[in-house]
Structure 1
Amino acid sequence: MTMLSVVIPAYNEEKGILEIMERVLTIREGLKEAGVDEMELLVVNDGSRDRTAEVAGELACKHDCVRIISHPHNRGYGAALKTGFAQAKGELVGFLDADGTYPPEYFPQLCREALNGAELVIGSRMAGADSRMPLTRRLGNVIFATLLSLLGWQRVTDSASGMRVFRKDTLARLSPLPDGLNLTPVMSTRAVHEGIKMVEVAIPYSERVGRSKLSVLRDGRIFLTSMVWTVLSYNPVRVLGIAGLVGVGVAALVGLGLVIARLSGVTALSPWGVFSLFTGLVLGVAGISLFALGATFNYLVSLFYKEPIRQGLFGKPVFKKPLELQFGWMGLVAFAAGLGIGIVSLVLSLSGWEIARLWLYLLGGALASLVGIQLVIYWLLIRVLEDLSQRDVLARADMQVE
């Protein structure tokens, strides 16, 4: 016997709660055809100040499968959903908003995918079905879905959909989840990085009943930061590494431009040239630091989760030996090159060369030396963390030696 528990969080939704509840109750036959034998409906009244609880309670009195759960005060969209998740009795848990924007009639399709092996099924508003989503929210959803696809290296079309079905036994891997409206993008981000089998089903999207509680700018900022912080807790090098590579790339372009200018006979810089040099130096050092810091954090995350270290900035290892384990010799080479450039510049200066001909080389040598020292320091730290991450495995292997 398979049961679906449908959770509806409701805050001041007296105008639309009755209609959405009735629509959910009509899908029971469709659920049976999809392989779901029973259904329960949980409405979580999140401290509403209107008649939401009363309206929902009147319908609950007529149906044994309906339960009303009330928070004494408003705790937030995510908190209401988590209350429902905790009290759900079904092997499958689904949820949707109380404002009538999501079609409960599509729950059978979502459940069918869950019964076919999917652990999390998302009703995607961006996968081609008819959608009446406002343009600003549509643009925001495209941005967040694209960001998650890049950071998680898995295509996602709707990272913030509020209509989903998941297996209840996957909830532990999806937790902890926030109390606010950002629960859905955080759930999607965790699912991607936990390796949860996720499937999207195209659904239509309608205009809501009543006034929206979503603020595009405020909640958009929260969605963005919560997704990035969640990725950092799983695979820091994915965020910091990309940022670092961008910094190094810009610095390389600035350096190339300066070298070309110097070979062309330019010895003095314009104000913009000085600013470009400043930008290149800062981004070069910062880029290397961010990339190395991301790689180091990956080892700390591995120690925390007691799982293998996540390798590969782009979803899979690029080198046979992880790049961060090569920081040692790379740092020594960079330091030696910088030191060599400094010594040669000193010799040339003593031989009569003017500083106008040498300043660029001296800056390049100093930058190479500093980067080399950074890489060696991070290599030492990473080697210690690598040994710590393998300590339990090696200890168990030693105990098994006869």
Structure 2
Amino acid sequence: MTTLSVVIPAYNEEGGIAEIVHRVLAIEPELVKVGVDRMELLVVDDGSKDRTAEIVSQIPGVRLIRHARNRGYGGALKNGFAQATGELIGFLDADGTYPPEFFPQLCQAALNGGELVIGSRMAGEKSQMPLTRRIGNFFFANLLSLVGRQRVTDSASGMRVFWREILERLYPLPDGLNLTPVMSTRAIHEGIKVVEVPIPYSERVGRSKLSVVRDGAVFLQSILWTALSYNPVRILGLIGLGGVGYALLVGLALLLARLQGVTTLGPWAIAALYWALVSGVAGITIFSLGTTFNYLVSLFYKRPIRQGLFGKPIFNPPLDRQFGWMGTVSFLIGLLIGIVSIALGVSGWDFNRLWLYLLGSAFFILIGIQLVISWIVMRVLEDLSQREAQAERDMHSAHLH
């Protein structure tokens, strides 16, 4: 026997709460057809100052949970999850924007293997979403697809169905409106099977509580911060590679110019060189920091270290294991260029012809030192991550003998 618990968080929704509650109650026969035997409906009144709670209390078949003070959208949902009794838990907003009539389709997807089923407002069904929010949702969905290596069309949908048993893997979740993007980000990184079902989206009843700028900034921070707590190199590595790529392009352009006899640079070329040096060193540092953080995350979660920026290792052995020889070679190249350049200058060459090579020497030396230090730190962290398993293996071996 499968029960669906539907949670509706409500704050000052007296204008539309009755309609959405009756629409949810009306779907129970359709739920039975897809294999859900029973439904319970919980409305969490999150400290409303209007008649929301009074209206809900007069509707049969609804369980009302009241908060003495406002705890936030996420806080209301989490309390509803905790008090729900169903194996399946669903939720939607109280403002009438999401269609409860699509719950049977979401439940069917869950019964067919989905662990978290998201009603996607961006997957083809008719939507009345304002243009600014549509653009924002498109951006956040693609950002999550990039950092999570799984295609998502709606990262912040407020209509979902999931199995109760996955809550332990999704928590902790925030108390604010950013609960949904954080839930999506955690689900993808936890390996939870996420399924999207297209749903229509309507204009809300009453005034929206969502601020495009303020809440958009919170959503962005929430997705990036949550992704960083699982696979830091996915974000930091891409940023670092971008910095290194820019530095290499500028360095190549300057080298070609020098080989063609150009010995003086204009203001734009000097600015490009300056930023190339900064972005190159910073890029290597950020990339190394990302790979180092991955080892720390592995220690915390006691899981294998995530490798590769694009879902699987590009290098074998992984790139961070090659930092040692790469750093040594970079340091020696920089040292050789520096020694030769200084020797040529002392022997009478015009230093105006040598300054670029001296800058390149310093660049390679600094990068080499950074890579070698990162390699040492990561080897120590790798040893620590394996120490517990090695100790257990040694103890088991001692018992056998």
Band of TM-score, shorter chain = over 0.9
The structure 2 residue matched to 1:222, chosen from 191, 205, 218, is: 218
Q: Does 1:305 align with 2:301?
A: yes
Deviation at 1:267, TM superposition (A): 1.2
Q: Does 1:196 align with 2:174?
A: no
Q: Does 1:20 align with 2:20?
A: yes
What is the rounded CA distance, in whole Å, between the counterparts of 2:145 and 2:197 in structure 1? 17
What is the rounded CA distance, in whole Å, between the counterparts of 1:239 and 1:8 in structure 2? 34
How many correspondences in the alignment?
Answer: 398
Q: How does 1:83-94 map to 2 (within 5 A)?
A: 83-94=79-90
What is the rounded CA distance, in whole Å, between the counterparts of 1:222 and 1:251 in structure 2? 32
Q: How does 1:172-187 map to 2 (within 5 A)?
A: 172-187=168-183
**Alignment partner, residue 112 of structure 1:** 108
What is the rounded CA distance, in whole Å, between the counterparts of 1:292 and 1:331 in structure 2? 11
**Alignment partner, residue 318 of structure 2:** 322
Question: Which segment drifts farther, 342-351 or 129-138?
Answer: 342-351
Unaligned runs of 5+ in 1: none
**Alignment partner, residue 50 of structure 2:** 50
Deviation at 1:305, TM superposition (A): 0.4
Q: How does 1:144-293 map to 2 (within 5 A)?
A: 144-293=140-289
What is the rounded CA distance, in whole Å, between the counterparts of 1:257 and 1:88 in structure 2? 63
Deviation at 1:394, TM superposition (A): 1.0
What is the rounded CA distance, in whole Å, between the counterparts of 1:285 and 1:157 in structure 2? 36
Alpha-carbon RMSD: 0.7
Deviation at 1:88, TM superposition (A): 0.6
Identity %: 70
What is the rounded CA distance, in whole Å, between the counterparts of 1:71 and 1:308 in structure 2? 42
Q: Determine helix, strand or coil for the equivalent of 1:32.
A: helix
**Alignment partner, residue 387 of structure 2:** 391
Give deviations 1:274-323, integer Å, cap 9, x for gaps.
11111000000000000000000000000000111011111111112111
Deviation at 1:380, TM superposition (A): 0.5
Deviation at 1:115, TM superposition (A): 0.9
Q: Determine helix, strand or coil for the equivalent of 2:12.
A: coil
Q: Does 1:343 align with 2:321?
A: no
Unaligned runs of 5+ in 2: none
Give deviations 1:67-117, integer Å, cap 9, x for gaps.
111111111111110010010100000000000000000000100111111
Letter in 2 for 1:16: G
What is the rounded CA distance, in whole Å, between the counterparts of 1:320 and 1:339 in structure 2? 28
Q: Does 1:8 align with 2:17?
A: no
**Alignment partner, residue 36 of structure 2:** 36
Give deviations 1:344-388, integer Å, cap 9, x for gaps.
101111221111110000000100000000000000000000000
Letter in 1 for 2:30: G
What is the rounded CA distance, in whole Å, between the counterparts of 2:152 and 2:259 in structure 1? 48
Letter in 2 for 1:26: A
Q: Determine helix, strand or coil for the equivalent of 1:160.
A: coil
Give deviations 1:254-279, integer Å, cap 9, x for gaps.
11111122112111111111111110
What is the rounded CA distance, in whole Å, between the counterparts of 1:71 and 1:275 in structure 2? 58
Moved over 3 A (4+): none
What is the rounded CA distance, in whole Å, between the counterparts of 1:159 and 1:251 in structure 2? 34
What is the rounded CA distance, in whole Å, between the counterparts of 1:278 and 1:195 in structure 2? 43
What is the rounded CA distance, in whole Å, between the counterparts of 1:148 and 1:155 in structure 2? 8
The structure 2 residue matched to 1:138, chosen from 111, 134, 137, is: 134
Q: Determine helix, strand or coil for the equivalent of 2:89.
A: strand
The structure 1 residue matched to 2:94, chosen from 91, 98, 101, is: 98
What is the rounded CA distance, in whole Å, between the counterparts of 2:45 and 2:264 in structure 1? 70
Letter in 1 for 2:192: I
Q: Determine helix, strand or coil for the equivalent of 1:122.
A: strand
Deviation at 1:398, TM superposition (A): 1.1
